[in-house]
Amino acid sequence: MFIELYHHKGHQCLMFCDTCVEHGEAVQANQFLIVDDDTGAIIDPGGNLAYSELYLGMTRHFPPHQLSAILASHADPDIIASLDRWMTATTAPVYISRVWERFVPHFCKPGKTAGRVIGIPDAGLRIRVGRGELWALPAHFLHAEGNFQFYDPISRILFSGDLGASMGRQVDPRQPVTSLSAHIAAMEGFHRRYMVSNKVLRLWARMVRTLDIAMIVPQHGAPMAGAAVREFIEWVQDLSCGIDLLGDAHYSVPTAAD
């Protein structure tokens, strides 16, 4: 039901990757549960397809009222469309960029989010969860205007949102990638389209090099560990993407009907 990414002294990082099927109606997406003794946090809880399995997984570790936080990297439906159900089932606040603070209530019935949405400032935030913290790291325009990644200093895992995503039948989310070269084909098209510019990728690479990272775990596809962590940082810092690739041909008035 889930993949255990880390488990030591009451601290666990769990990944749920089978809650929707990429080659069906919905894109494959990963959801994450951080457990610290009798509390924890959920990172990118996903849409309604993901809710039941993630909720049941959480209740095997602690009761719903002990959930400390719901963390959202940004406001896409595959990130947080299930928010209404989480607002009903738990008392946890939801942390999201201030850019999206007034947008996420649209996922919920009136009044459900009152007093429970905490806007993360652009510079980021350290969020207390149990005995430790999760660090909200600025990742703006990778790909959303207000975007955060979440670093767990205990497990040394960087939950990277859409950055690092991989797609395709050959990708197995249960199997961490330890060498990047053969994996690039599953990432390149997505990153060239969804990441905004090489400038932002270079700024991100400079920031994360200051961290001790054991694993980069994206919201889609396979985690990266070992040598693939450094190789991924080096690959994306030189990648042309987004607005780097656009020209007049991409902004032409259409001439044919469907």
Beta strands in the chain (DSSP E): 3-8, 11-16, 31-36, 39-43, 67-71, 94-97, 117-120, 125-129, 132-138, 148-152, 157-159, 215-217, 224-225
Predicted TM-score (pTM) above 0.85: yes
Tokens representing residue 52 in the block? 């039941």
Give the span between the Cα atoms of 157 and 214, in whole angstroms: 6
Using an 8 Å Cβ cutoff, are 139 and 161 in contact?
Answer: yes
What does residue 209 show for φ and ψ, rounded to 5 degrees? -65, -15
Digit-coded pLDDT (tens) for 62-79: 999 999 999 999 999 999
Query: What percent of the chain lies above the pLDDT cut of 70?
Result: 98
Digit-coded pLDDT (tens) for 149-203: 999 999 999 999 999 999 988 899 999 999 999 999 999 999 999 999 999 999 9
**Does residue 27 sit in helix, strand or coil?**
coil
Give the span between the Cα atoms of 87 and 82, in whole angstroms: 9
Q: Is the pLDDT of residue 28 over 70?
A: yes
Which of 20, 17, 72 lies closest to 49, judged by CA? 20
Digit-coded pLDDT (tens) for 200-250: 999 999 999 999 999 999 999 999 999 999 999 999 999 999 999 999 999
